[in-house]
Structure 1
Amino acid sequence: MTAIYLSLGSNVERYKHITAALDALEHLLGDLTISSVYESKSIGFDGSNFFNLVVGAHTHLAIVELSEVLKRIEDENGRKRSGPKFSPRTLDIDILTYGDFVGLEGGIELPRAEITKNAFVLLPLAEIAPQVCHPQLQKTYGELWQEYDQTSQSLWAIDFEWRGKKISARR
């Protein structure tokens, strides 16, 4: 079993699609480690605010197989792939890391560059895996968050309930 971290985001019917994604991921992967849900403004286009979070889990699936299943979950939640890269999303699920793998596999480059570029990825990742090392940079996600310009992107934890359990900031 390989440890993985996934980022989830939605700015269209956000509660519905994030809840559906968590249901599908739990069914696929079993136990999930779930960060707080954060709200942030759209980056790269004018649109509704996003909900973002990071999920940790373990899988027996290979990288390409995992990616295919995640795309199927996105599609089942109305994901349209024909629009511009920066546009509204019903659901976006990205593989951030796959164990200690570094490189390109089936067109998927890991670890994902967004980890160090976007607060809405790095903060929830640092929240659930502060002592885990980035496989390329050899710094922990907690260290990377401390070094990040935390004023560059605005985001805030929100109350979110999944399966009767409140997901909230752990700080």
Structure 2
Amino acid sequence: MTQLFLGLGSNIEPQRYLPLGLAELESLLGPLRLSPVYEGAAIGFNGAPFWNLVVEASTSLSVGELQVALRTIEYAHGRPQNASRNSPRSLDIDILIYGELSGVVDGVVLPRGEILENAFVLRPLAELAPDDRHPVNGRTYSDLWNAYDAAAQPLQAVALEV
């Protein structure tokens, strides 16, 4: 089994779609550990704020198999198959970390670059796995978050009923 971290986000009815996505992920992967949920501004386009969290799980699926399963969950919950990268989402699920893999694996870039770029990924990851280390630069997620300019992308904790 491989430890993995997924990023989940929604800016279309997040109180509805995030719990639905989490239920499907639990059916697919088994027990999940969840970070706190944060609301932050849409990045790269004008839109409603996103709710984001990070999920830890384990899987025996390959990266490619997991990616296909995640897209299936997204499509089942309203994601258009032709959605552009920077657009509103009912449910967005990204593979952030898959074990110690790095590079392009089955078409997926690992670890996901947004870990180091966006507060909505790094902060919940640092809270969920503070002592885990980034597979490429070796720094702990808590150290990365402490060095991050949190004022550049303000986040607000929100309550999600799952």
User: What TM bracket, shorter-length normalisation?
Assistant: over 0.9
- Find the counterpart in structure 1 of residue 54 from structure 2: 54
Alpha-carbon offset, residue 32 of structure 1: 0.5
- Of all paired residues, the percent bearing the same amino acid is 49
Correspondence 1:1-171 to 2 at 5 A: 1-162=1-162
The two structures have a TM-score, normalised by structure 2, of 0.98
Structure 1 spans left out of the alignment, 5+ residues: 163-171
| SS of structure 1 residue aligned to 2:61 | coil
After the TM superposition, list the runs of 4 or more consecutive aligned residues in structure 1 that deviate by more than 4 angstroms: none
Alpha-carbon offset, residue 52 of structure 1: 0.3
* One-letter code aligned to 2:5: Y
* 1-structure distance, mates of 2:82, 2:104: 24
Deviation sequence 1:102-144 (CA, Å, 0-9, x none) = 1111211100000000000000000000000000010010110
* One-letter code aligned to 2:51: F
* 1-structure distance, mates of 2:135, 2:11: 30
* One-letter code aligned to 1:50: F
* 1-structure distance, mates of 2:81, 2:61: 24
* 2-structure distance, mates of 1:81, 1:156: 30
| SS of structure 2 residue aligned to 1:16 | helix
For these two proteins, the number of residue pairs brought into alignment is 162
Alpha-carbon offset, residue 79 of structure 1: 0.3
* 2-structure distance, mates of 1:146, 1:81: 37
* One-letter code aligned to 1:5: F
Alpha-carbon offset, residue 43 of structure 1: 1.1
* 2-structure distance, mates of 1:71, 1:58: 18
* One-letter code aligned to 1:67: Q
The two structures have a TM-score, normalised by structure 1, of 0.93
* 1-structure distance, mates of 2:105, 2:153: 30
* 2-structure distance, mates of 1:84, 1:93: 14
* 1-structure distance, mates of 2:142, 2:104: 25
Alpha-carbon offset, residue 17 of structure 1: 0.7
Q: Which moved more, 1:102-111 or 1:121-130?
A: 102-111
Q: Which moved more, 1:84-93 or 1:114-123?
A: 84-93
Structure 2 spans left out of the alignment, 5+ residues: none
